[in-house]
Copies of this chain bind each other. A is one copy, B any other.
Amino acid sequence: MLDKVVFVVMDGLGDRPIPELSGDTPLEAAHTPNIDKLASASQCGSMCALGRGKKPGSDTSHLAIMGYDPTVYHSGRGPIEVAGIGIELQGGDIALRGNLGTVDHNWIIKDRRAGRIRDVQPFTEALDGLRIEDVEFIVKPGTAHRAGVVLRGRDLSDAVTDADPHELDLPVRRVDPTEKNPEAERTAEVLNSFHLKSHEILTDHPHNRRRTDQGLLPANFLLLRGAGTYRELPSFQERYGLSACCIAGGGLYKGIGAILGMKVIDVPGATGLPDTDVEAKFQTAVTKLPDFDFIFVHVKAADSLAEDGNYDGKKSFIEKIDRASRLFLDLPPDVLLVMTADHSTPCGLRQHSADPVPILFCGHGVRKDNVTTFGERACATGGLGLITGLDVMPEVENLLGRLPLIGA
């Protein structure tokens, strides 16, 4: 009987045929003996996280494949990233993502990442706890140049524009309300005041004086974007009766784990980059099996490499995932292994796409089909057919014998 689940999401894994890879996709071209062995023992299929013809973001697709309908539960990327940073959110909080960047005296952006600054903690500490009117600002360091910002107070709204224009040599944008109501108008004003005030504090920060002396760009502006209202979600445990943990490098994916109430486990070497230690992550997944019922493992880099159009890099990274996947060849007999992706990121397109991704379900009692390789087109012929993200968790519950009975 299946009792536990290892659930591996390989970000942006799906792709399209690439002439330079003899018309194979990077996944098809990669040498993946371990995952192929797993596929041979699996029921395979294709999956469109948000359904056919929808191009998923990473946030919405993860919600869907965890069984949380994004049309109900998605409320912007800010709250997810901020949860991943470890800020405990409360219902009604407005959360934003921020970059520590460099602006000139006219607030023209000279560098969106302040020269790819790595340690932002001294700067976030200087801003953390700031109050504007009756709104408290919680400001915490994220990965590299990133920070998470939470506005806590009454009558706030996430209906505001981004300050970050996403491009160099443009001025910081005024935050404007996107809805005509007092909450949105007030939140925009408060954020504009925050930019003014925080810019002063950062400009005068001793670390910045030191950076300027060393010829480094000052981290003198916290560029905010992605406002979202935090709504409490039913936890994964509550929803499925499965204790769950999250093993991820990237902040967004830790955030997904955090907002679903999963225990977020930090694995040394899990960077969310191509140099990440996939082996350490998969080993941690296996090691944590006695402690959790559901182990969500996220691997990022196939997506980023595809966004750079680097199909060779993507192929090599998939081979790296495959080598670590040998750890899944001998899982205990009560473990269901699910391997899939959140969406395709075709190297030729350098962006997400709606193309289906492969999925495999491997474990005791699964209706093994004739698929023998884990590839986009091979899995499309699998026994599962084409499913959506919201079909995945019911399938997991079904295999575990945990679905509620409808009728009698």
A interface residue numbers (CB < 8 A to B): 1, 16-17, 23, 25, 50, 52-61, 70, 74, 76-77, 226, 346, 348-349, 351-355, 364-369, 376-377, 380, 383, 385-387, 391, 394-395, 397-398, 401, 403-408
Question: Residues of B contacting A364 with CB < 8 Å?
Answer: 348
Q: Is the CB of A376 within 8 A of B367?
A: yes
* Oligomeric state, in copies: 2
Cβ-neighbour of A367 out of B355, B407, B408 (below 8 A): B355
CB-CB under 8 A from A403, the residues of chain B are 53-55, 353-354
For A406, give its contact among B54, B226, B353, B367 (CB under 8 Å).
Answer: B54
Residues of chain B within 8 A of A376, CB atoms compared: 367
15 A-B pairs besides A346-B365, A349-B365 with CB distance below 8 A are: A1-B349, A17-B366, A23-B368, A52-B391, A53-B398, A53-B403, A54-B406, A57-B408, A77-B407, A77-B408, A348-B364, A348-B365, A353-B398, A354-B394, A367-B380
Q: Which residues of B contact A1 (CB under 8 A)?
A: 348-349
Contact status A61-B16, CB under 8 Å: no
* 15 interchain pairs, CB-CB under 8 A: A54-B394, A54-B403, A54-B406, A55-B398, A55-B404, A55-B405, A58-B408, A59-B407, A61-B407, A77-B407, A77-B408, A354-B395, A367-B376, A377-B383, A380-B385
Among candidates B226, B355, B368, B397, residue contacting A408 with C-beta atoms closer than 8 Å: B226
A387 to B385, CA, bound (A): 12
User: Contact: A405 with B369, CB < 8 Å?
Assistant: no
What's the Cα separation between A348 and B3 when bound, in Å?
Answer: 13
Give CA–CA (A17, B405) in the complex, Å.
22
Question: Are B369 and A377 in contact, with the CB atoms below 8 A?
Answer: yes
Residue of B nearest to A369 (CB): B377
- The A interface is mostly helix, strand or loop, or mixed, namely loop
Q: Which residue on B lies nearest to A395, using beta carbons?
A: B53
By a CB distance below 8 angstroms, the chain B residues around A50 are 406
Chain B residues with CB under 8 Å of A394's CB are 52-54, 354
Instruction: Tell me the bound Cα distance from A59 to B408 in angstroms.
Output: 6
Interface centre among A70, A385, A404 (most CB of B within 10 A): A385
**Across the interface, do A383 and B380 meet the contact criterion of CB distance under 8 Å?**
yes
Q: Which residues of B contact A354 (CB under 8 A)?
A: 394-395, 398, 403
